[in-house]
Amino acid sequence: MDFAAPIERALSLLQIIWLSFSGRFGFSAVLDIAIVTLLLYWLLSLIAGTSAATLVRGILILLTLGFVLSNVFNLTMLQFLLRNSIPALIFAIPVLFQPEIRRALEQLGRAGSLIPRTTTVSSNTRLAEIIARGAQQLAERRFGALLIMERSTPLGEYASKGVAMDALISPELLLNIFWPNSPLHDGAVIIHGDRVVAAGVVLPLSQSPTVEHMGTRHRAGIGITEISDAIAVVVSEETGSISLANAGRMVRNLGQARLQKVLSILDRSAGYGANGRPTGLPGLPGLGRAREKRTDAPEKRDDSEPDAA
């Protein structure tokens, strides 16, 4: 059976349809329709879920009903009112949809943010900046604090014993948690990524004889870093000094800038040594060297209160 003739007729019919369509709708017409369609879709998505969507629906229903009634029953006066209401409606649109128009213009103004820039800041750097700024504000107010940055070792066992939060970290949040009259200020805060997972967490204390002269917060900060690769930032309530613990070692008297730098480096260098213990970061004072020997005269405790972190 020869299928050449039917196929040829079908192709010729498709060619005629295409020529008829392209003759009526050229490339410019198709482009015009596509642009208008995208514009309407963008405007409708902009007002979706807002009170403006209900307002637009009401206006469309009113106009459609008015045009249908005026044309079906030949209502001359209603047709006159509808024709003359369109220009007034155009002037009323900026007043009725002022918030949506403002948001649309703001989105157009932020269109340049879609272009990648060479000066982007990583999430680790932003997190280090937030924690360093929060620790500095806590130190200035003499609010004792213990911040634990979770890395590859899960700390869910300890977080489950605290108060679950799941809140985006910010200096203001840390100030509220560690405010002296807050019920959570004596415990530790566990941070996973850029979120505070739990607050008021009780951590194991370091049993090393070299930390007996330290306060409870500092011993808890060192203790959690001895059994995990977490990073602990401690703010002393008595002296207002900022300390950082990593791999069972602690650096004291850090400023905001230095703390931010150390956190940024440590957060990119998580790992364990050959003995299975979390590794410190060589090259940074206090993190890569051995622990200081215990002196005969113990130092003054940084935290005189029994802050059981």
Same domain, 71 and 133: no
Do 156 and 176 share a domain, yes or no?
Answer: yes
- 240 & 187 share domain: yes
Is 196 a member of any domain? yes
Shared domain check, 104 and 188 = no
Regarding whether 131 and 261 lie in a shared domain, the answer is: yes
**How high is the pLDDT of residue 264?**
84
Residues 130 and 253 in one domain: yes
- Residue ending a domain, choose from 48, 77, 111: 111
Contact between residue 201 and residue 169 where contact means Cβ atoms under 8 Å apart: no
Domain-embedded: residue 272: no
The reply to whether 178 falls in a domain is yes
Verify that 148 and 98 share a domain, yes or no: no
**Number of domains the chain contains:** 2
Whether the CB-CB separation of 103 and 46 falls below 8 Å is answered with: yes
Residue 104: its pLDDT value, please?
73
> Is pTM, for the whole model, over 0.85?
no
Radius of gyration of the chain (CA): 34
pLDDT in tens, the chain (309 residues): 556 676 777 777 777 776 766 666 667 777 888 898 998 888 777 777 666 778 888 888 988 898 888 888 888 888 888 888 878 887 888 887 777 777 677 667 755 544 444 444 456 788 899 999 999 999 999 999 999 999 888 888 899 889 999 899 999 999 999 999 889 888 999 999 889 999 999 998 988 877 778 888 999 999 999 888 899 999 999 888 999 999 888 888 899 999 998 888 876 654 444 344 444 444 444 443 333 333 333 444 444 444 444
On whether both 105 and 183 belong to a single domain, the answer is: no
Cite the beta strand spans of the chain per DSSP E: 145-149, 163-168, 188-192, 195-201, 231-235, 242-246, 249-251
Last residue of a domain, one of 67, 88, 111: 111
What is the CATH classification number for the domain harbouring 171?
Answer: 3.40.1700.10
Q: Is residue 294 part of a domain?
A: no
Same structural domain, 200 and 241: yes
Residue 54, domain extent = 4-111
Q: Pairing mode, if any, of strands 195-201 and 163-168?
A: antiparallel
Q: What is the per-residue pLDDT for 122?
A: 55
Same domain, 165 and 130: yes
